[in-house]
């Protein structure tokens, strides 16, 4: 059986209640047995208005709140009974219901503590043993899941840091390359390097030689105009 056992809510006999709260609690009990938990809650609250110290009205009010899935208010009612002078059997029931309320409120560690207290008072409570085992298993599952999530987040952070380091190194390399390029000798605007100047000079000298050669050739081919003789 892998689900939480339902709370064994025991409504104590009304004959034990103070006469001033008897009527309200009896009405609350009838409403509770008819599963009209909201109406039962109202009757128990009326009883507590007459006798705020009524242990039984407080306990039954906690039960009606639990049935309405109001677990936090139910916890408050059960906890208020723990420091009162009550019979061990009743105290065991209070701790059991408190454990179930904590369980429903997803407060597993407190739920486990309450079940243990119940078993200290009543070691033969099979339902408390079952619920204790269930709560411990669920807590272990949650802790394992949290550890796995934490590990995944850590790995994610490590990958993020590694990517950031790689990007920083890449940017650093790019910056160094840029600085190296900037440090290379560069000609001012309008100037040429020494090597380019020498090559250009050589080309100009060669062009000049070619021109002079062509001029000489042209001179050789030019004929003198004959001088007209006087007869």
pTM here is 0.61
Q: Give which of 34, 39, 126, 108 is closest to 71, Cα–Cα.
A: 108
In a domain, 131, yes or no: yes
Q: How far apart are the C-alpha atoms of 5 and 118, rounded to whole Å?
A: 15
160: CATH: 1.25.40.10
Same domain, 95 and 53: no
In a domain, 224, yes or no: no
Q: How far apart are the C-alpha atoms of 108 and 140, rounded to whole Å?
A: 10
Same domain, 49 and 112: no
In a domain, 207, yes or no: no
Q: How far apart are the C-alpha atoms of 160 and 145, rounded to whole Å?
A: 22
Same domain, 101 and 65: no
Last residue of a domain, one of 85, 102, 132: 85
Same domain, 58 and 103: no
**Domain around 103:** 87-164
In a domain, 13, yes or no: no
In a domain, 140, yes or no: yes
In a domain, 189, yes or no: no
> For position 215, what pLDDT does the model report?
57
Q: How far apart are the C-alpha atoms of 199 and 68, rounded to whole Å?
A: 101
Same domain, 104 and 62: no
Tokens of 171: 């940017």
Q: How far apart are the C-alpha atoms of 8 and 177, rounded to whole Å?
A: 78
> For position 84, what pLDDT does the model report?
78
How long a stretch of residues is the chain? 231
Last residue of a domain, one of 67, 85, 103: 85
Q: What is the largest CA-CA distance in the chain?
A: 180
Q: How far apart are the C-alpha atoms of 113 and 80, rounded to whole Å?
A: 16
In a domain, 142, yes or no: yes
Last residue of a domain, one of 140, 164, 188: 164
From first to last of its 231 residues, what are the pLDDT tens digits of the chain?
Answer: 334 443 344 444 334 444 568 899 999 999 999 999 999 999 999 999 999 989 999 999 999 999 999 999 999 999 999 987 778 888 999 999 999 999 999 999 999 999 999 999 999 999 999 999 999 999 999 999 988 888 888 888 888 888 887 888 888 888 887 777 666 555 445 556 677 767 777 877 777 777 677 656 554 443 333 434 333
Same domain, 121 and 148: yes
Same domain, 155 and 95: yes
Q: How far apart are the C-alpha atoms of 163 and 157, rounded to whole Å?
A: 10
> For position 194, what pLDDT does the model report?
72
Number of domains in the chain: 2
Tokens of 49: 């208005």
Same domain, 72 and 91: no
CB atoms within 10 A of CB 86: 16
Same domain, 111 and 81: no
Q: Is 231 exposed, middle or buried (0-12, 13-18, 19+ CB in 10 A)?
A: exposed
Same domain, 91 and 126: yes
Same domain, 78 and 92: no
């Amino acid at each position: 059986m892998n689900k939480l056992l339902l709370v064994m809510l025991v409504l104590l006999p009304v004959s034990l209640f103070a006469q001033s709260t008897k009527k309200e609690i009896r009405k609350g009990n009838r409403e509770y047995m008819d599963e009209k938990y909201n109406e039962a809650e109202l009757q128990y609250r009326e009883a507590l208005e007459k006798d705020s110290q009524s242990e039984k009205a407080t306990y039954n009010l906690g039960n009606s709140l639990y049935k309405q899935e109001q677990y936090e208010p139910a916890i408050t009612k059960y906890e208020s009974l723990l420091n009162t002078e009550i019979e061990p059997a009743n105290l065991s029931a209070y701790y059991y219901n408190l454990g179930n309320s904590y369980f429903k409120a997803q407060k597993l560690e407190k739920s486990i503590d309450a079940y243990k207290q119940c078993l200290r008072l009543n070691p033969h409570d099979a339902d408390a043993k079952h619920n204790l085992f269930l709560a411990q298993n669920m807590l272990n599952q949650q802790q394992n899941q949290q550890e796995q999530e934490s590990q995944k987040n850590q790995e994610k952070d490590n990958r993020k840091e590694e990517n950031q380091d790689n990007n920083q190194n890449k940017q650093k390399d790019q910056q160094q390359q840029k600085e190296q390029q900037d440090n290379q000798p560069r000609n001012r605007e309008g100037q040429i390097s020494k090597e380019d100047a020498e090559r250009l000079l050589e080309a100009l000298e060669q062009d000049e030689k070619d021109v002079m050669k062509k001029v000489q050739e042209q001179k050789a081919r030019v004929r003198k105009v004959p001088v007209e003789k006087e007869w």
